[in-house]
Amino acid sequence: MKRIPIYSLLVAVALLAVSCSKDELSSTSVIVDSVNPETEFDRWLEENYRAPYNIRFIYRYEDIESDMDYDLAPADETCARILAKLVKFLWLDPYTEVADAHFMRQNSPRVMPVIGSGAWNSNGTLQLGTAEGGLKITFYVANWLITQGFVTVNYENGTDDYTVTVNSMDDINYYFLHTAHHEFGHILNQNKAYPTDFNLISQDQYVAQWNSITDNEALRDGFISAYASSQPGEDFVEVLSWYITSSDEDWNARLAIAGDEGTEIIERKLNIVRNYMQDSWNIDIEELRSVLARRYSEVESINWSDFSTEE
């Protein structure tokens, strides 16, 4: 489960009423009725998510798939379409390329709800995603793709076609792709446990109030992020997700902050993560990281509004 401090996101509160498509929210209902007409997007999801991986990508709001402890808003359909393309291109496809479709079909979640808003906790943190029982990954803040300016949607006059300009790949990476890889790491750990030696490296330094320290402080203590210091299981998947979604430059910048002592601890953890992925799943994370780096450079080539399917 991934959380971030409230103080870094206060600007979001002012934007909750802002649209996530054109100038206004889509007129198409995102609340599930008893019957919803099948759309081109639904057929694309069937061909690209459900058929190959048995994943239900749920973009229409369903109470039964939502956490009723939070006040949540539906995802705007345009934002859901963009997120569906991103998650496929930068999570499903890379693992399929390095492993195979069978690996993803066997280990991917069966349900993937998309929520437009964030799930705020009483301690002032925000959940970016959750993984439940190896069967479900929930994405939050989908509407921030546009309301926070991560992308700009440019509609062609008089048509439903649009292009997408990516304004901040760093934000997309942090809020969605890092979350996808983080939560998928939990699913892999639930299916095959990681070595308990990992838990011993920082066993006396995990803290319940992880949100009271900064990432820089955590790095110097040997944690790749502040959230990694919350418990060993979160530490493990944070190392995995940060490493494979970071460029060499960004990863080395974090290690520079960590200093010699922090870097030595993080590298010991990374070595266990690397061996676990190879021994348990036959996945070389260096290859996976290379594939992801190539795909990050190819994001602008995505045809964002094409949801045609093969006959």
Q: In the chain, what are the domains? A: 2-168 (no CATH), 192-294 (3.40.390.70)
Name the helix (H) or strand (E) containing 252.
helix 248-281
pLDDT of residue 1: 57
pTM of the model: 0.83
Q: Profile the chain (311 residues) by mean pLDDT over runs of 10 residues.
A: 46 37 45 69 96 94 56 89 97 96 93 84 64 78 95 84 93 92 93 96 94 95 97 97 97 98 98 98 98 96 88 44
* Spatial CB neighbours of 286, under 8 Å, sequence gap ≥ 6: 274
pLDDT of residue 161: 84
| DSSP helix/strand/coil, 170 | helix
Tokens of 202: 């920082």
Contact (Cβ atoms closer than 8 angstroms) between residue 143 and residue 15: no
